[in-house]
Amino acid sequence: MALNRKIAYINLTTGEIETKPIPLEIRKMFLGGRGLDMYLMYNHIKPGIDPLGPDNVALVSAGLLVGTLASASARTHVAGKSPLTGFVGSTNMGGFFAPEMRWAGFDHLVIKGKAEKPVYLWIHNGEIEIRDGSSIWGKTVQETQEIIREELGDSDVKILTIGIAGENLVRYANVMTELKNAGGRSGMGALLGSKNLKAIAARGTMDIKIAHPSEALEYNRKIIRQITSAKVSQTQGRLGTNFIWGATNTQGLVRVRNFQLNQLEDSDDIEPEKLDEFNIGMTGCFGCQVHCRGKYIIPSGPYAGVYAEGPEYTSIGAWAGEPGCRNPLTILVGNHLVNSYGLDTLETGSMIAWAMELYEEGILTSKDTDGLDLRFGNDEAVIEMVHRIANRKGLGDILAEGPLRAAKKIGKNSIKYSIQVKGMSNLHSDERPTPALALGIATGSRGSDHLRSRPAIDLYHLPEPVLRKIYSQPVPYDGPLSSDYRDYEGKPWQVFWHEMCYEAVDCLGICKYHTTFLGATLPNFEEWSKLLYYNTGLEMSPLDIWTVAERCYNIERLFNIREGLTRKDDWLSDRYFDEPTTVGIPGVRNKTLDREKFKKMIDEYYEHHGWDENGVPRPETLRRLGIDKEPSHML
């Protein structure tokens, strides 16, 4: 059954592999995926270790509902101490790897030490083998998968891999699977690279027993309808996530020219509808009827004829808005390159845009760029920088270190221009007019990030009764709620609620697009409780699931605090408070964040969490959640 998948401890230094069952007691506390990974991370990683040294631990897992009849239960989670931030490293990706790992018998891998030479893991029906990886080292994400399949003689093998960026320890290198499923943010690709672990291949034919098959079938049928009947899902299935960029750019909620503007004008050529002209069909992840991933063939230039997937919302930000470019080809090629190199599209685009502003300010000169004209809007320079970052050449070697280390190397107050939190670049959205979204990126446990807590439905101006219905379950809430995304009132609760929502789905292995992330009518705790019961037999109420999420989020907080995080790390760049927005619809123009109100929001947010004014979980909070004795080493 879905609860009997095992955990494997793999020591790459010694070659020892040990497998263990996962006790039900632990399941009830952390479910699986991100939640259990966070528990393992807190217990197995010693404080203060070098994230790129052999003491760091790479955790690879599948959510508890992965491979079952829960719509889009496809998510793989990878964790460890982040080489980019030094805090929680955590990433989540779709595709087909996680279900395959479960069919092969495993839910969690705890990978320790460092292999002497490049290796890959081969997981097959309950067995794990460490294999020579010399034939795949130096290969792209796509080549690696083809070579492994050829080597193992099975075209159905699913592979999680790093690209050349991960091998070169670019601190924001991704783990990847298939063409473009990307485990981005926080540099988990560099972590695998530091262990000489190029890839993990999985193939399995072991049953995952469904506890109540006919109920699970009927209920999932209903859930899928609930998801695909939402207009937002339909738009996504047609235009991909690109539609979000179009909608937010129209309002003036995106970062342009690093942080100089909040809207890309004359953007006709790269609007979602325009990019759709390159689309040749849609595809998607395991078990998903939304199919939000586009397919395209690069139409011209040096990469003409290459088949790729995407681009996504973040790619338009990274290859158009942020560097101030308007050429669809730059988006299509940039997206393809980061997916081949295994780079985080968002971080790469942000680093390049930051360097462009430094170039404009004269902090970087053509001497630093080896003659490359790094001005805003120079499409060729943007693409060239991707190659340089992945291969750590010239300025690329500095940018590969991430915002904080790069700013230290460049000096000259370059940090002032960097748009980052906890050493991770912000998404390409501009949160100055939207305090809720700003609070989310300021407090996210893996650094600046929208996928930790973004209450995206806050942008819809939903009527108060609708908000009340969503946000007062499974935990009662009778505080303020506001339909206006420019308000500060009630937003901390929304951010807290979405944190719990996303933590819960990350434990279950369901896609966030199937939750109250983008659509107010999409499933959350109530539905997950039923999905858990029908598929695994585990009886957990919506409130129980919420409590698991709280428990896991607190462990993330404890990990960060142990690594030196303080309240001042939950803060944004001064530019958010000092430089007003200049363009966009009237309601978002001339906006800055208010320092005092923002501080108050953080106080309130801590209070919801049961943390003190320094953001430290109170002893009674930890007792209530049963994690006051961590580290416990139960697993």
Partner 1 sequence: MQKMLVVDYEKCTGCRLCELVCAVKHEGVSNPLRARIHIVKWEMKGIMVPMICNQCESAPCISVCPTNARTRDEEQRKVNVDYDKCIGCKMCIVACPFGAVSFDPFASRIISCDLCDGDPRCADFCETGALRYVEASQSNKQRQREAAEKLYESMRKFTAAYTG
What does the binding site for partner 1 look like in residue numbers (CB under 8 A)?
A: 2, 67-69, 96, 99, 103, 142, 145-146, 155, 178-179, 205-210, 213, 216-217, 221, 224, 228, 280-289, 291, 295, 307, 309
Give the three-state DSSP class for 567. helix
Q: Identify which of residues 456 and 511 has a Cβ nearer to partner 1 in the complex.
A: 511
Which one-letter amino acid corresponds to residue 472? S
Q: Give me the least distance between CB of 323 and partner 1, in Å please.
A: 28
Q: Give me the least distance between CB of 514 and partner 1, in Å please.
A: 13
DSSP-assigned beta bridge partners for residue 256: 261
Q: Identify which of residues 69 and 261 has a Cβ nearer to partner 1 in the complex.
A: 69
Q: Give me the least distance between CB of 102 and partner 1, in Å please.
A: 8
Q: Identify which of residues 237 and 252 has a Cβ nearer to partner 1 in the complex.
A: 237
Q: Give me the least distance between CB of 276 and partner 1, in Å please.
A: 16
Q: Give me the least distance between CB of 107 and partner 1, in Å please.
A: 14
**DSSP secondary structure of 226-247:** HHHTSHHHHHHHHHTTHHHHHH
Q: Give me the least distance between CB of 151 and partner 1, in Å please.
A: 16
Q: Give me the least distance between CB of 71 and partner 1, in Å please.
A: 8
Determine contact, residues 503/552, Cβ cutoff 8 Å: yes
Q: Give me the least distance between CB of 67 and partner 1, in Å please.
A: 5
Q: Identify which of residues 179 and 421 has a Cβ nearer to partner 1 in the complex.
A: 179
Q: Identify which of residues 309 and 604 has a Cβ nearer to partner 1 in the complex.
A: 309
Which helix (H) or strand (E) segment is 191 a member of? helix 188-194
Residue found under tokens 């501080």: 599
Q: Identify which of residues 247 and 306 has a Cβ nearer to partner 1 in the complex.
A: 306
Which two structure tokens, joined as six digits, stand for 297?
A: 């063939």
Determine contact, residues 219/78, Cβ cutoff 8 Å: no
Q: Give me the least distance between CB of 178 and partner 1, in Å please.
A: 5
Q: Identify which of residues 275 and 352 has a Cβ nearer to partner 1 in the complex.
A: 275
Which two structure tokens, joined as six digits, stand for 443?
A: 């407090």
Q: Identify which of residues 229 and 365 has a Cβ nearer to partner 1 in the complex.
A: 229
100: Cβ contacts below 8 Å, ≥ 6 apart: 157, 158, 202, 203, 204
Q: Identify which of residues 189 and 284 has a Cβ nearer to partner 1 in the complex.
A: 284
Residue 130: burial class (beta carbons within 10 Å; 0-12, 13-18, 19+): middle
Longest dimension (CA), the chain: 67
Q: Give me the least distance between CB of 511 and partner 1, in Å please.
A: 11
Q: Identify which of residues 342 and 542 has a Cβ nearer to partner 1 in the complex.
A: 342
DSSP-assigned beta bridge partners for residue 295: 281, 309
Which one-letter amino acid corresponds to residue 390? A
Q: Identify which of residues 61 and 142 has a Cβ nearer to partner 1 in the complex.
A: 142
Q: Identify which of residues 287 and 423 has a Cβ nearer to partner 1 in the complex.
A: 287
- Radius of gyration from C-alpha coordinates of the chain: 23
Which segments of 72-155 are extended strands (E)?
76-81, 88-93, 106-112, 119-124, 127-132
Q: Identify which of residues 440 and 523 has a Cβ nearer to partner 1 in the complex.
A: 523
Give, as one character, the DSSP assignment of residue 22: -
How many CA atoms are closer than 13 Å to the CA of 135, on its beta-carbon side? 12
Burial track 522-549 (b if 16+ CB lie within 10 A, e otherwise): bbbbebbbbbbbbbbebebebebbbbbb
Q: Give me the least distance between CB of 27 and partner 1, in Å please.
A: 18
Determine contact, residues 516/471, Cβ cutoff 8 Å: no
Preceding omega of 474 cis (within 30 degrees of 0): yes
Q: Give me the least distance between CB of 155 and partner 1, in Å please.
A: 8
CA distance 136 to 192: 14
Residue found under tokens 């280390």: 405
Which one-letter amino acid corresponds to residue 239? L
DSSP-assigned beta bridge partners for residue 424: 421
Residue 564 CA: distances (Å) to CA of 35, 85, 262, 517, 559 = 21, 11, 33, 31, 9
Q: Identify which of residues 282 and 616 has a Cβ nearer to partner 1 in the complex.
A: 282
CA distance 11 to 22: 19
Q: Identify which of residues 10 and 230 has a Cβ nearer to partner 1 in the complex.
A: 230
CA distance 151 to 159: 13
Q: Give me the least distance between CB of 204 and partner 1, in Å please.
A: 9
Give, as one character, the DSSP assignment of residue 198: E
CA distance 513 to 285: 12
CA distance 317 to 325: 10
Q: Give me the least distance between CB of 275 and partner 1, in Å please.
A: 17
Q: Give me the least distance between CB of 138 and partner 1, in Å please.
A: 18
